[in-house]
Structure 1
């Protein structure tokens, strides 16, 4: 593991990257104990506080864990897909917001990925997945439900559909698509959408999943995508008309 002292990059970031690369390459295996802070400081020719900051970066990414005691130290962590979900969601949210991704582009990607899960979910879903989907449909039907609660239920419904595929890699990849894109789409459409229409489509999709009809579930997702895009177009058009009709400030 090496760093470039002449680089303008932060030394602790370089050390964290060097250790992360060693973990990814398999040079440091799961549960392997890292060298001590003093040994790492000597190896990289830096101060112990710099090493300590590098280890904090790795711990924040769940790549290492620390243990106290005579047999303590820093160890390579076994990163689970669930542990990485939040990072995937954060990254997807930042990518969407910082790169000005259009609503249609985000919507197209999200539903294309989710449709890929539909046949697997129809085949493998458990009773718990179906129960979650039915419970969220019931929740979405409640007249006193707030917009924020409806959005959260919407995410939970689609999360259960994706997890029903029984593939942790797909669930991880779709964490960004469902839990980052969905709230962003909800922010645009929640004021104008028909909850009844969404509940009807969610029911159609759930019935298909329960009946193990993957193609039918995918059709329901396609209908939901079309409804969502049409709704967004009408909302954005109305906003544009309102902005154009606003009185101009005097020169």
Structure 2
């Protein structure tokens, strides 16, 4: 593991990357103890505070864990799908907000990914996945449900659809689109959309999955995408007109 002291990138970031690369390449394996701070400081030719900062960065990425006591130190952490998923959702949310990704771009990506997942969900969904989706539809049909709770239920419904594919890698990859892109869409459209229309489409999706009809499931997702885009365009046009644009 080496660093370049002349690089503009800070030393803690370089050290963290060097250790991360060693973990990714398999040179450092899960549960392996890293060298001590003093040993790492000597190896990289830096101070111990610099090493501590690098280790903090790795811990924040859930790549290492620290342990106190006689047998303590920093150890390579097994990254779980749940931890990786949480990080991806945060990163995707920041990416969309900071780079001002257009509504149509986010919508296109989200539904394209979900439609790709639909055939697997139709083939592999369990009664438990269907029950989760039915429960969310029942919630969505409750008149007193707040807009925020409806949006959360909307996300949970599509999360269950994706998880119905029973592919953890796919669930991980789609978490950014379902739990980062979808709230963006909800934020723009929730005040004007018809809950009855959403419930009708969701009900049609679950019927398709019950019959393992991937073609119809895809068609219903296309229907939902068209409705979502049309609604967003109507809202945006009204806002432009209100501001004289």
TM interval, short-chain normalised: over 0.9
User: In the alignment, what sits opposite 1:79?
Assistant: 79
- Measured against aligned partners, the alpha-carbon deviations of 1:129-175 in whole angstroms (never above 9, x if no partner) come to 11110000000111111111011000000000001100111101100
* TM-score, structure 1 as length reference: 0.95
| Secondary structure of the structure 2 residue equivalent to 1:101 | coil
User: In the alignment, what sits opposite 2:239?
Assistant: 239
User: In the alignment, what sits opposite 1:108?
Assistant: 108
The residue correspondences of 1:49-198 to structure 2 (distance < 5 A) are 49-198=49-198
User: How far apart are residue 8 of structure 1 and its match?
Assistant: 2.1
RMSD: 1.0
CA distance in 1 between counterparts of 2:36 and 2:129 reads 45
Q: Which consecutive residues of structure 2, in runs of 5 or more, have no partner in the other structure? A: none
- Measured against aligned partners, the alpha-carbon deviations of 1:169-216 in whole angstroms (never above 9, x if no partner) come to 110110000000000000100110000000000000011111111111
User: In the alignment, what sits opposite 1:48?
Assistant: 48
CA distance in 2 between counterparts of 1:59 and 1:126 reads 36
CA distance in 2 between counterparts of 1:201 and 1:62 reads 39
User: In the alignment, what sits opposite 2:35?
Assistant: 35
User: In the alignment, what sits opposite 1:249?
Assistant: none
CA distance in 2 between counterparts of 1:83 and 1:164 reads 20
CA distance in 1 between counterparts of 2:83 and 2:100 reads 28
User: In the alignment, what sits opposite 2:11?
Assistant: 11
User: How far apart are residue 39 of structure 1 and its match?
Assistant: 0.4
User: How far apart are residue 239 of structure 1 and its match?
Assistant: 0.3
User: How far apart are residue 99 of structure 1 and its match?
Assistant: 2.1
**Comparing 79-88 with 233-242, which one deviates more in the overlay?**
79-88
CA distance in 1 between counterparts of 2:7 and 2:117 reads 44
User: How far apart are residue 82 of structure 1 and its match?
Assistant: 1.0
| Secondary structure of the structure 2 residue equivalent to 1:244 | coil
Q: Which consecutive residues of structure 1, in runs of 5 or more, have no partner in the other structure? A: 246-251
Count of residue pairs brought into register by the alignment: 245
